[in-house]
Structure 1
Amino acid sequence: MAHGFTLRDLLAESLEGVGARPSRLIITLLGTVLGIASLVATMGLAQTTAGQIAKSFDLLQATRVTVEPGTAEGRGGTERVTVALPWNSVERVENLVGVQRAALYAEVSPTPEVAAVQVVDPAEAAVAPPPVVAASPELLEVVAGTLTTGRFFDAGHNVRADRVVVLGKEAAERLGINRVSGQPAVFIGGRAYSVIGILDAVGVRDNLLRSAIVPIETARADLGLTLATSLDIEADVGAGQVVAHQAPIALDPNNPDSFKVKAPTPPSALQGQVAADINVLFVAIGVVALVGGGIGIANVTLLSVTERRGEIGLRRALGAKTSQIAKQFILESLTTGLLGGLIGVAVGLFVLLGVCLFQHWTPVIAPWVPVGGVFVGALVGLVAGTYPALKAARIEPVDALRSA
């Protein structure tokens, strides 16, 4: 009674067939692995590059100019002196072309004691006080901030040096304050300040969420503030470089070069950065695809060596040298790679033209790219055919003719 193959028999036969030619198995596996790796790398690199490009085009960073105090030579010319930002810096730059708004920012140092109650119980664990920063009323808009509750202080609070404070959400949590109704107060340097708002989020200057923010004139009057840390300017898109040049002149016409200015990346540099990100993406994809193509050529050439053992044996018996056999298969692989390079360049150019026509773009490609593509194709074929050619050259005539 005949019995059919069981699943176990089928598995055994499959494994035996797969392992019959280990070299071909390894090369085939490499081709599959590189194909999947190319797919995964394409998706991952595309998302990564998109993130890098998005970061490069961050609107907040592209419109942000920061001016900080610098140094200049003193009258005697023997020492450097600090050139401070004027307290009316906002008024000096707000009418410049390209400036949307500006805010003066200062970190109060040393940090005064900040507490929710005036008398602290020594038995309670000590909690580090939140840092205190001072700012002009325009800061909320300049840093693209939003409030959980309450309001930000205005020009009136600043001019009168009112004792009001806006808490960052983390500072508010540390002090146990979650609302402004009922006019809660915190004590800064022993003086009571009314909490008028709680900051929820900012586009820049994340440290504000951990800080207590007071009007800059209040900090000058009560906390001994003597030097502004920076002038933050929000400029129109594309006007960052112009504003960065004009702002120091408006602040101090006699020493404009003494300030430290941080400006957005120039458009040409940004273009180069984005182009470099995209080039890295597609070069990586191209390299993976080329390696996969080389594996394919090597696999086909190796298969050809196996199928032509009789021909190889006959040629060896008729006097062909091992080097001649090797050169024949290397030349075949080189021809395959060269042909693949020519076809690949043609297909690539047609795809480029098709996409540009569909998107109404102007096609741009360096003249050396098509020539380089053909050369790389030939090089891949040469490298891929080396191992099969060496294997063919090592075949003994007697063994080849016996197995033919």
Structure 2
Amino acid sequence: MVRGKSKLAVKDLAAEALTGLLQRPTRSLLTMLGTVIGTASLVAILGFTATSAGQISARFSVLTATEVTVVDAAAKTRTVDPILSFPADSDAKARALNGVVEAGRYWKVALPQGVQVSARALPGPRDVRNLDVHAVSPGALRAARTPVVSGVLLDEFHERGERVALLGAAAAAQLGITRLDSQPAVFIGGEAYTVIGIIGSPQRLPQLGLGVVIPTTTALGRHGPPSPDDPARMLIETELGSAQVVAGQVPTALRPDAPNTLSAAAPADPKSLRDSVTADVDSLLILLAGLALVIGAVGIANTTLVSVMERSAEIGLRRALGARRRHIAAQFITESAALGLIGGIVGASLGVLTVVAVALVQDWTAVINPAAVYPAPLIGALVGLLAGSYPAIRAASIEPVAALRG
């Protein structure tokens, strides 16, 4: 009598695999834990990257992406009779460009050697300090977002050559000046400048908060142009998205006769900046997620191998009743793949919930790309499939006689 070919339907294979998993539910849950952690980490990392991208770009864009700096590029080439490449009306010309919010010039005043800055709050004596003096136009103060602690900022009226000054909060503290009603004055060399305001640290030019600020016209008239080693600059605040265009136009707008004397620097692309900030962190976290998946694969392989050893009698009986090697291998591979698939589904769900929870706490808008979630169960199943391959081969190689005898 010839025995017919043994067959194993897909329905029967799934039922056998499910029965094998449910026989030891606690072990099955612990086995898939590594896959759950790995897939959850992977989904959460990709979700956090997409969610935080907008937040990082927005924070960089507040200052960096709206700032253009123009430098007097010809200053170092003038060894005799140095002049200022910026025209007198450069602030107004820059503000006339589309996309410009504020613009102004600034530079460090080149004081002769031995000239010191002192201050006096009537009726007290002078207090001599080694402070830097900066020439700053009103537009530059506004573009730098300069906070006022006391008094007022410089304005266009003071650009007529007025001998007035602002004191940075740090410089004022060194000089013991906290009030303006005592008629304080700073002396640059032997010339007195009335202090009309005390400023905090500007958001864009923090060095101004450490020294003395005077009008640009006053600085040019009394101290000459800046040193070629530290040339004049223009600070331009732009609307979001306009920095690159403004940087390309401003040299020609200010000096149509010689645009090469000015060099404009635009900020880096916020997307590139964001990517450079997050790339290293993402790589590390993805590596950790991959490590968790490897640990999960090892756990599945170990548990499946132990299951094969424990069920050798069952395997031998099935082989004796007609089950082929491929049927035994298919059952154990299916069990391992099912563990990985379920772990991937659970892990993907936990990853999505984690991203949403963190976004709610941080008051962000959660951004989750479906392409980062849908493959997670398949990744888990693939991990389980690979992990169960060796135990399945071991199970298929068990001889019925030896298994039943043992």
Per the normalisation by structure 2, the TM-score is 0.64
Q: Which has the higher contact order (CA 8 A, sep 6+)?
A: 2
Distance 1:212 1:32 in 2: 62
Q: What code does the residue aligned with 1:114 have?
A: V
Residue of structure 2 in register with 1:109 after alignment: 110
1:186–1:194 contact (8 Å) kept in structure 2: yes
Tell me: CA distance 1:198–1:311, structure 2 relative to 1, closer, same or farther (3 Å): same
Q: 1:60 aligns with which of 63, 75, 99?
A: 63
Q: What code does the residue aligned with 2:181 have?
A: S
Tell whether 2:246 aligns with 1:243: yes
1:165–1:215 contact (8 Å) kept in structure 2: yes
State the Cα deviation string for residues 36-82 of structure 1 (Å, max 9, x = none): x959x8699679767633433x323232221111149989xxxxx99
Distance 2:135 2:349 in 1: 62
Tell me: CA distance 1:401–1:293, structure 2 relative to 1, closer, same or farther (3 Å): farther
State the Cα deviation string for residues 286-329 of structure 1 (Å, max 9, x = none): 665565455445434433433442444787999xxxx99x9779
Residue of structure 2 in register with 1:86 after alignment: 87
1:99–1:236 contact (8 Å) kept in structure 2: yes
Unaligned runs of 5+ in 1: 1-23, 76-80, 122-126, 352-360
Residue of structure 2 in register with 1:78 after alignment: none
Q: Secondary structure at the match of 1:196?
A: strand
Q: Secondary structure at the match of 2:200?
A: strand
Residue of structure 2 in register with 1:232 after alignment: 235
Deviation at 1:170, TM superposition (A): 0.5
Residue of structure 2 in register with 1:99 after alignment: 100
Deviation at 1:377, TM superposition (A): 4.2
Q: How does 1:253-292 map to 2 (within 5 A)?
A: 253-265=256-268, 269-271=269-271, 274=274, 288=288, 291-292=291-292
Tell me: CA distance 1:232–1:73, structure 2 relative to 1, closer, same or farther (3 Å): closer
Residue of structure 1 in register with 2:162 after alignment: 162
Q: What code does the residue aligned with 1:132 have?
A: V
Deviation at 1:149, TM superposition (A): 0.7
Tell me: CA distance 1:394–1:190, structure 2 relative to 1, closer, same or farther (3 Å): farther
1:301–1:333 contact (8 Å) kept in structure 2: no
Unaligned runs of 5+ in 2: 1-26, 320-324, 354-365
2:340–2:385 contact (8 Å) kept in structure 1: no
Deviation at 1:139, TM superposition (A): 2.7
Aligned CA-pair RMSD: 5.4
Distance 1:364 1:251 in 2: 46
Residue of structure 2 in register with 1:141 after alignment: 142
Distance 1:181 1:206 in 2: 26
Distance 1:154 1:248 in 2: 24
Residue of structure 1 in register with 2:383 after alignment: 380
Q: What code does the residue aligned with 2:119 have?
A: A
Tell me: CA distance 1:51–1:94, structure 2 relative to 1, closer, same or farther (3 Å): closer
1:99–1:234 contact (8 Å) kept in structure 2: yes
1:136–1:158 contact (8 Å) kept in structure 2: yes
Deviation at 1:140, TM superposition (A): 2.5
Deviation at 1:263, TM superposition (A): 1.8
Tell whether 2:125 aligns with 1:132: no
Deviation at 1:264, TM superposition (A): 3.6
Tell whether 2:200 aligns with 1:200: yes
Mean CA deviation greater in 304-313 or 333-342: 333-342
Deviation at 1:211, TM superposition (A): 1.5
Distance 1:59 1:296 in 2: 43
Residue of structure 2 in register with 1:252 after alignment: 255
Distance 2:303 2:214 in 1: 79
1:147–1:201 contact (8 Å) kept in structure 2: no
Distance 2:56 2:343 in 1: 32
Q: What code does the residue aligned with 1:198 have?
A: I
Q: Secondary structure at the match of 2:135?
A: strand
